[in-house]
Amino acid sequence: MSSLASPVFVGVDYHARSVQVCVLNREGQILANRACGNDWQAVVAIVRNKCGPQTPVQAAIESCCGASDLADELIGRASWSVDLAHPGYVARIKQSPDKTDYSDARLLADLERVGYLPRVWLAPEEVRELRRLVRYRQTLTKERKNLKLQIGAALRESRQRPPESVHPWTKAWAGWLTKEAVLSPNTQLIIRQRLKRLADLAEEIRASERLLAEQTNNDPLVQKLLKLPGIGLVTAATIRAEIGRFDRFRSGKQLARFCGLSPRNASSGQRQADAGLIKAGNPQLRMVLVEAAHRLIRYDPRWGQLAGRLRGRGKPVSMTVAAVANRWMRWLYHQLQPQQLTTP
């Protein structure tokens, strides 16, 4: 049998400076299992030294920071077939408390060989770049939120409250804070520095949003989303960055579950119950979609009517909003499915 008919299966245990490479044949025999530098050429050299340059390769790399770039290089430059593996599910399959690079690489290769590898999507480079920018903006907004909480805590500690007619974080509130609030010298210094950082953060967030607008200006999915009621640039860019392609899901229900918007079944025996939303998916993506659901209820009659029916049945507000976000994502899956044929 020719080498073209007998592929080898490679497991790559990824680390920042080195990788462990395990090569198995079709029967599961170990042809090589050793470490090399974190470089696609070094990985390819281990396989070619054992199997020859024409042998088809099916490789698996555990998904982690930097693994996608190595996978892209192996696909584009070495013409390998490469899958990313879900690290959590791989750990469950291992069924052993022991962990070594040798055994981890062998497990990945074996799972690829038998077809049981828990695969995750390898996003294209442009989607990964957008994801970096979206997540950078999220870190800025999280820092802004923490600073506001710290300023509020300092005011409570000093027992200072603005007049009832003054709303927090308005110009009137800022005037009260700088001119009327009675604060100790140290508290004044701390609040002044935090207000300065808030102003800097506001400019950094605006700059990141300008970049988001530039980088998604020609993206058909983002432009389609922006035409929907209640959907702005940040929501559209987050959906594009974190979901990428809608057609990689088998159904709208699977997509909603990926977004962490599905109720978790907690039934046992005769007891049938839900236990809130599933603890899965990117929490920032879920947060953005829940915020979008609030706007959809307010601005889109279709979703406002759904929310009204749910509230009429006694559902709490949080459950109603999550249900609208779930239904909207399932609806969006069918609306955007043809659109994905023209997006990377």
Pairing state of beta strands 57-62 and 8-14? parallel
pLDDT at 265: 67
pLDDT of res. 338? 59
**pLDDT band, very low/low/confident/very high, at 341 (cuts 50, 70, 90):** very low
pLDDT exceeds cutoff 60 at 257: yes
Distances (CA, A) of 191 to 130, 141, 144, 185, 314: 34, 18, 13, 10, 44
Distance CA 20, CA 33 (A): 7
| Distance, CA of 221 to CA of 219 (rounded, Å) | 6
Section 310-332 average pLDDT: 93
Rounded to 5°, the CA angle 95-100-101 comes to 115
| Distance of alpha carbon 45 from alpha carbon 100, whole angstroms | 22
Kindly report the average pLDDT of the chain as a whole number.
Answer: 91
Measuring CA to CA, how many Å separate 241 from each of 127, 128, 145, 212, 234? 6, 7, 23, 11, 10
pLDDT by residue (tens digit) across 63-85? 999 999 999 999 999 999 999 99
Query: What is the arithmetic mean of pLDDT over 209-233?
Result: 94
- The model's pLDDT over 29-47, given as tens digits with 9 standing for 90+, comes to 999 999 999 999 999 999 9
Smallest CA-to-CA distance from 233 within 208, 257, 255 is with 208
| Torsion (CA) 152, 153, 158, 160 in degrees, nearest 10 | 30
